[in-house]
Structure 1
Amino acid sequence: MPEPIDQFATTAHNLVDTVIESALRKLEDENKIRKQAIAAIRLDLSRSASAEPPPPVVHENYEVENIEWLTIEEFSIEKAEKKINDFIKTWEYQDSWLFCVDFLREDEFEFDVRYRFRVQWSIPTRRKPIPRSTASVYFTFHVSKIKPKTYPVEVYYIFETNRLVHRPGFSRFREKWLKDIIESKVLVMDAVDF
């Protein structure tokens, strides 16, 4: 009878050791991730401390283009719309796409004011001048109340139906993203009977 108890004790010790090792590995991984996040924040802070736009990112021998964005002092809704138009001109897409930029709203917070814009895309044709569906890209301008007026305004944008937040100069625009949004909307409309 003493043998099964020893066997259970050994199994229990092995199980506890495995759990402890797994927890230690997880802590080490979380520590690495935390260090990487801190390094990324420091890099971001050092970049935002200068009024210069971030350097272009190179992917697959492709340079992600960017424009010079507005400073806090220069910011106005009209100038922001113009900058969005200028930024979209750096994107590669077919000439059949049309878009319009609309100011949506202004949200005031304790330390900044956020201006939200929508860029609505569509492909009108001769047969269907009013497209069945559109794809939207939402731009947000963070105008800080506490940073010096010479600092650049922070700009972010997201594509409709997508949670990934893009920053100008850091990700390459893909026309496929717009097509996917429109195709998914058309599929839903075809699936719903009115």
Structure 2
Amino acid sequence: MEQPISGTNEAAELSLLIKSLRFERLLKEELENPPPSMMDSTVWGLCKDFTIGGGYFKIEAYIKTWDIKPVWVYNVDYLRTELEDDFKIHLYKALFMAPTARKPIGDRVNIYFAMEISKTEPEAPVEVRFLLESRRLIHTPGKSKFSEKWLTDITDTKDLFQRMMES
């Protein structure tokens, strides 16, 4: 289900993902022999086979490969589609939380995913990137090994900020 953008950080982070895909596309076009996709097309699929629901399930399957403790619960939502001349970029958000007895509604961490689908090359692999909220490093599945510390660093930062605001 398409979700409205709720905060300015989310909009900025999604914009960063889109710019990253655009930049990489331009870089590939300038190269004489573009490198093969950084991701295995058997994992993310080909552009011709992409569906929004299929993208959702691919993200869920990818998250299940991460080495994180089972205390982390998450939900994946489809946000929207950005249209480019020759591409569609589908945006998703995975909301992570680690509830405890003392804090049943724990700090939330958003991870944003972008899936780029070529309109002109149906046999091209789906390109996928993701980033964590309040971070600027864009990750590529298959090149970045996810670390649970990324989630805890964000929740620790939020806790520290909350304590500073209360004092």
TM, length-normalised to structure 1: 0.65
Q: Is the counterpart of residue 183 in structure 1 residue 156 in structure 2?
A: yes
5+ unaligned residues in a row in structure 1: which ranges? 1-37, 55-66
Q: Deviations over 1:62-107 (max 9, x none)?
A: xxxxx71121111111100100011111110111111110111111
Aligned amino acid, residue 126 of structure 2: V
**Larger Rg: 1 or 2?**
1
CA distance in 1, matches of 2:110, 2:32: 31
Q: Is the counterpart of residue 116 in structure 1 residue 91 in structure 2?
A: yes
Runs of 4+ in 1 over 3 A off after TM superposition: 41-44
- SS for the counterpart of 1:162 is coil
Q: Percent identity?
A: 32
Paired residues of 1:70 and 1:80 also in contact (CA < 8 A): no
CA distance in 1, matches of 2:101, 2:158: 21
Q: Is the counterpart of residue 136 in structure 1 residue 125 in structure 2?
A: no
CA distance in 2, matches of 1:174, 1:185: 18
CA distance in 1, matches of 2:32, 2:85: 25
CA distance in 2, matches of 1:72, 1:92: 28
Q: Match for 2:63 among 88, 105, 112?
A: 88
- SS for the counterpart of 2:138 is coil
**Which residue does the alignment assign to 1:11?**
none
Q: Match for 1:167 among 140, 156, 159?
A: 140
**Which residue does the alignment assign to 2:40?**
53
Change in Cα spacing, 1:44 to 1:170, as seen in structure 2 (3 Å) is: farther
Relative contact order higher in (CA < 8 Å, ≥ 6 apart) = 2
CA distance in 2, matches of 1:176, 1:44: 37
Q: What's the RMSD between the two structures over aligned residues?
A: 2.5
TM, length-normalised to structure 2: 0.75
Paired residues of 1:137 and 1:157 also in contact (CA < 8 A): yes
Per-residue deviation, 1:43: 9.9
Per-residue deviation, 1:126: 2.3
Per-residue deviation, 1:193: 3.8
